[in-house]
A = this chain, B = another copy of it.
Amino acid sequence: MKVTIKDIARLCDVSVTTVSRVINHKTDNIGAKTVERIEKKIAELGYTPSNVARSMITGRSHTVGLIIPDVRNPFFSELARGVEDYMNEHQYGVFLCNTDSSLEKEKQYIDLLKGRVSDGMLFTTQNRFEFSHYFHELIQNEYPIVLIERYLEGVDTFPGVYFDNRGGAKKICDFIISKGHKNIACITGPLETTNAKMRLDGYLDALKEAAIPYDESLVIHGTYRYQSGYDCMKTLLEQNERRGEDKKITAIFASNDMMAYGAYKVLEEAGLVVPRDISIAGFDNIKFPDIFKPKLTTVELPAYDMGKRAAEMLIRLMRKEELEEVTYEYPLEVVDKGSVGRV
């Protein structure tokens, strides 16, 4: 049988209130020997107060939900760790929810978390907008939520942390251009997602600033997956045959690292040497052990920090404290690992 506050009270010949006070360290008005006696008994029986019962009263569970597409993705595991570390420091537990970006699962989890323990939620999914009304319900109930790289239609003022995707993409394209490239292909992510669109915009911004005319045939749409990078690059290379000598692609900007690696594979198979024959850049800076080749020039995404910051915001929200800024946007930096060379 599990030991309860009543057991302790009975065995110590005091009321449950007194025991409760001891548990909660409100011992100002309790005799020192009484406190001691109770504490001893608690230790003896290994009693731990039921947080379920506590939650009933206080209405708070000291638990938050973290909703992500997949922990196996290094970006999300890094993020999750940032969240967990911060939450743990502040005595919060973290509920892990993998959605595989499925609306169905997302909905399921929201219901689960709403009813179960959970004082707040952290949300990050490759998303469209379809979901807004679900959020609206949560918003109206003043349920604390922090968005992570999730763009919601018509709700600009929702608390969230974001990357400056557009700025980051522009920076890496600027970098490519600075090496003398003019014919730069772009493999986009799925444009239903806002961050893919923003990365494309960054590419366009850079071209514009450098007064490089926009060539539609250089932009091809991928899905953020390795295989998709592979397929897109194949197509690009075929088209390249038909281009005039001064129109040949000399560099590729892929909207994420996985696609960049897929594209890289094609270049390798075609006998092209990076960066001598052709240059390539990615976005994400997925971490791999030092020894691995090839290396990719890319854009760093501070996932761990982002997790921490989102957690911090959520805690403020749950405590009904004022947020310094409702949304925070991380500036992004280029990491040069030598896959972009001079023309």
Contacts and interface: CB of A to CB of B under 8 A. Distances in A.
Interface in A52-69: 52-53, 55-56, 59, 61-63, 66
A99 to B, nearest CB: 10
Contacts of A84: 71, 96-98
A49 B115 contact: yes
A111 B97 CA distance: 23
Number of copies: 2
A95 B46 CA distance: 22
Interface stretch (A7-15, A27-35, A179-187, A284-292): A284-292
Contacts of A72: 74, 77-78, 81
A50 interface: yes
Contact of A63 (B98, B117, B292): B117
A175 to B, nearest CB: 22
A124 to B, nearest CB: 15
Interface stretch (A210-218, A257-265, A332-340): A257-265
A70 interface: yes
Nearest to A82: B72
A2 interface: yes
Nearest to A226: B289
A258 B289 contact: yes
Nearest to A3: B141
A293 B290 contact: no
Given A77-B77, A93-B116, A53 B51 contact: no
Interface residues of A, number: 55
Contacts of A141: 2
Contacts of A294: 291-292
B137 A46 contact: yes
Contacts of A81: 70-72, 98
Nearest to A95: B93
A179 to B, nearest CB: 23
Interface in A108-134: 111-112, 114-117
A48 interface: yes
Nearest to A265: B291
Most buried by B among A63, A116, A292: A116
A236 interface: no
Contacts of A288: 288, 292
B48 A111 contact: yes
B62 A116 contact: yes
A257 to B, nearest CB: 9
A158 B76 CA distance: 33
A85 interface: yes
A323 B94 CA distance: 29
6 closest pairs, A vs B, by CB? A48-B115, A51-B116, A96-B96, A71-B77, A77-B77, A52-B55
22 contacts: A51-B117, A52-B117, A53-B56, A62-B116, A70-B81, A71-B71, A72-B74, A72-B81, A77-B77, A84-B97, A84-B98, A85-B98, A88-B97, A88-B98, A93-B95, A226-B290, A258-B289, A261-B289, A288-B288, A288-B292, A292-B294, A293-B293
